[in-house]
């Protein structure tokens, strides 16, 4: 993550660095597998099969400082590299939105997730709200941790 973020800064005279991190690290932090097979985009091979799985399969909370420590550590490394290489530009943090995360968690891929996500919202409003609440709390904690680690904006 740190090296991929630094490469464009080293090559071009940019006024900010952007954290390059996969959009589904939070999905992984919730214990779901994420794959990136060539040519088909990011996949969640075992999306939530039923609304009951929000309670039975997913943790109520995620300890971001443990489950996403690798990204938080990368933010620190990027900040150190920017200063050490005399390229002390702002670092922009990143996270996928709860809505995007939910759609992958229930749809499994970017090709199917909008249709399946909308169906979930209509058919399972209580479980959808619970999942979105958990994801929102995690995104807030994740982005706050990025700021604490050195990100200037999100």
pTM of the model: 0.92
SS3 content of the chain, % helix, strand, coil (to 5): 55, 5, 40
Cα–Cα distance for residue pair 147/113, rounded to 1 Å: 30
User: For the chain, what percent of residues have pLDDT higher than 70?
Assistant: 98
pLDDT reading at 142 higher than 90: yes
pLDDT reading at 39 higher than 90: no
């Amino acid at each position: 993550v740190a090296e991929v973020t630094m490469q464009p800064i080293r090559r071009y005279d940019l006024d900010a660095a952007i954290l390059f991190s996969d959009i589904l690290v939070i999905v992984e932090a919730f214990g779901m597998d994420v794959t990136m097979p060539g040519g088909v985009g990011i996949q969640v091979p075992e999306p939530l099969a039923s609304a009951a799985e929000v309670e039975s399969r997913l943790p109520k909370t995620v300890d971001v400082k443990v489950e996403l420590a690798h990204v938080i550590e990368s933010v620190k490394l990027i900040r150190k590299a920017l200063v050490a290489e005399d390229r002390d530009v702002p670092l922009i943090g990143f996270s996928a939105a709860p809505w995007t995360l939910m759609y992958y968690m229930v749809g499994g891929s970017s090709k199917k997730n909008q249709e399946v996500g909308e169906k979930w919202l209509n058919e399972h409003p209580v479980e959808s709200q619970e999942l979105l609440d958990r994801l929102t709390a995690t995104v807030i904690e994740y982005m706050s941790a990025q700021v604490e680690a050195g990100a200037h904006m999100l």
